Structure 1
Amino acid sequence: MKEYYPRGNRLSALEKNDLKRRALEMVLVLFYVEDLKQFIVESIRATDLLRRYAGGDRLPDGTKRLHKKAFEILVDAGVLTKCESDELQELIDYRNLIAHQMHDLTSDVGRYLSIRLPDDVRYQNGVLKRVLYFHKKLSSQMRQKFVLSVSFRGPQFEAAERAYSEELAILERKIRRQAIAARTEVEQANAMISVLKQSGLLIKLEPGHPNQINRSGQLTDKGINCCRELFITGASPFVVAHLMRISLRSATRQHRLWLANVDMTRGKA
């Protein structure tokens, strides 16, 4: 069955917060990776200049594949392993995706999931932690064999870094709670649909049949009756919206009308 979204094109609070989190992470990754690239190159050049490296300047202006060459120097110096060097290059590639193909890192959220992308150009959770790991490692390890470059990039970004990091922590807590709630909602809906299938009621009612919705998109009498039959079994508006292929707003309205009718019937009794 084709994917259906009862909430329409409106994003859930969970999806909105996930996109906010990604945006903040992307800003931090952009800064940290760029800062790390410059720190490595500047430190190697400062070392060659101040220590009068015998082989001359290892990273002269105009060096092709500058950062790959810089990582090779760190591997030769024992600061990085070959695997770590490859991982750093992957982080730079990811940084370039953020800078030039940001849409690819958000395309899995929303209503266009049929647009499939290769796994290597999708959003990757945990990239920020990996970048921070290398930031800390290289700041510590390079001081043993290199003259470290000093810049004002860190202090200039400090306020933004603190604000973004605090907001990320808040969003992480919200996302965890909302993810649990969303997962529970789906699990309960699947369990209810399974019960309805086993009872044979879905075959009898045929929810989602074209004759239950008229040309204007409104429920026909048969469609309204189908909704009410489903509500009687204990189905939630969310379940009914899925089965009937109608909006959650419409299903909720039908649920309110059904409850009002039940209350009225009880009152007369």
Structure 2
Amino acid sequence: MTQREEPLWEGRKPHYTDPLRGRLPELERCMIRHRALQMILIIYHAEELKREVLEIVAAQRDCKNAVNDEDRPAEEEVPDRKKVKRAFDALVRDGVLTPDERREMVDLIGRRNSIAHHLDQVTADLSTDAWVRDHLTYMPDRQEHDYEALDRLEAMRRLLEERTIAKHYVGVMSMRGIFFEATEKALRDDIRRLDRRIRKLVRERRTAIQALNKEMSIEATELVGDFHPRWPENRYHRGRLTPRGVEVCYRLFDMGKSAMAVAHIMELSLSSARARERQWRTLGGETRAVPQLESIPKVHIPVRYEDMR
């Protein structure tokens, strides 16, 4: 019976690491601000759409009662949800809206509550925290930001205005739009500036990712098996590198890897990788005396479950 050779250890299964340790890069920061400004406008236009539906239907009812010389019936106390439902029923019944348009408007008005009640979920996908990213995979029905909601809300408001005019509905004037006009202009200006900035940062991010991916490979190097950068004995349980882990880190810099690439390969923070790079340069950088990896004594570290994943 021939003895089967054991394959070299290739490291733990690659897992998302956050070299910035929770500090958001500029791209994610800009996207959060962009979404926040959009959500303010979504909340405003959703509330305005709801008010317009209620006011238009109420004004039309009052006009009909006045023409027919009928007293306005006393309004019964009903929940706000029922008032909105009855108002939409009247608009569909009068042919102002189609059932599909009604569903679209109801869904858009509901965006206001979705944002208010699930604000934590709307921006969670922009987090760089590994635990948050893993947890989101178990939340397939979470509330996500809808970048088209604002445009759809404005389109529905214009549609409602055009249809009520075509159906000779009584017009309702409101000062709310004038009160909010200056604020909306300022918010839209900021959104446009952020949009341009985000597009530029996305292009830069793609270029950086392509460059980083070229650095990530350690194939055809000596850093395999027991000397793999993610070998459990390269670091203590608290994350600090062992003497062998330090030398493996230096070997990566010898290969010309950047601090960001080393941080990803060895699952370090970017600040730690940069500190090791400074130490490597202090020792002479590429001209330093390179010890044999086999000569560096191992440190006994009890195996943990997470090291075997």
Is 2:49–2:109's contact at 8 Å kept on the other side of the alignment? no
Change (3 A) 1:263 1:33: same
Question: Which amino acid is the alignment partner of residue 37 of structure 1?
Answer: K
Unaligned runs of 5+ in 2: 1-13, 289-309
Q: 1:80 aligns with which of 97, 101, 104?
A: 97
Is 1:6–1:241's contact at 8 Å kept on the other side of the alignment? yes
CA distance in 1: counterparts of 2:37 and 2:102, whole angstroms = 26
Deviation at 1:56, TM superposition (A): 9.7
Answer with 1 or 2: which has the greater Rg: 2
**Counterpart secondary structure, 2:268:** coil
Is 2:121–2:142's contact at 8 Å kept on the other side of the alignment? no
Aligned to 1:155: 178
Q: 2:43 aligns with which of 30, 38, 44?
A: 30
Q: 2:156 aligns with which of 118, 128, 134?
A: 134
- Does 2:260 correspond to 1:225? no
CA distance in 2: counterparts of 1:148 and 1:221, whole angstroms = 79
CA distance in 2: counterparts of 1:125 and 1:59, whole angstroms = 42
Deviation at 1:233, TM superposition (A): 2.9
CA distance in 1: counterparts of 2:74 and 2:171, whole angstroms = 15
Deviation at 1:262, TM superposition (A): 5.0
Matches within 5 A, 1:1-269: 1-52=14-65, 61-63=76-78, 65-110=82-127, 111=129, 112-116=132-136, 117-119=139-141, 121-145=143-167, 146-193=169-216, 195-197=217-219, 199=220, 201-204=222-225, 205-214=227-236, 217-259=239-281, 261=283, 265=287
Deviation at 1:164, TM superposition (A): 0.8
Change (3 A) 1:57 1:136: farther
Is 1:45–1:58's contact at 8 Å kept on the other side of the alignment? no
Give the TM-score normalised by the residue count of structure 1.
0.85
Is 1:105–1:123's contact at 8 Å kept on the other side of the alignment? yes
Change (3 A) 1:213 1:148: same
- Give RMSD over aligned pairs: 2.9
Percent sequence identity over matched residues? 31
Larger helix fraction of residues: 1
Query: How far does the alpha carbon of each residue in 1:132-159 deviate from its partner, in whole angstroms, 9 at most, with x for none?
Result: 2112222222222211221111111111
CA distance in 1: counterparts of 2:287 and 2:15, whole angstroms = 38
Larger CA deviation: 60-69 vs 31-40: 60-69
Question: Which amino acid is the alignment partner of residue 185 of structure 1?
Answer: A
CA distance in 2: counterparts of 1:114 and 1:66, whole angstroms = 42
Give the TM-score normalised by the residue count of structure 2.
0.75
Unaligned runs of 5+ in 1: none
**Counterpart secondary structure, 1:217:** coil
**Counterpart secondary structure, 1:186:** helix
Aligned to 2:293: none
Report how many aligned residue pairs link the two structures: 264
Is 1:59–1:70's contact at 8 Å kept on the other side of the alignment? no
CA distance in 2: counterparts of 1:166 and 1:182, whole angstroms = 24
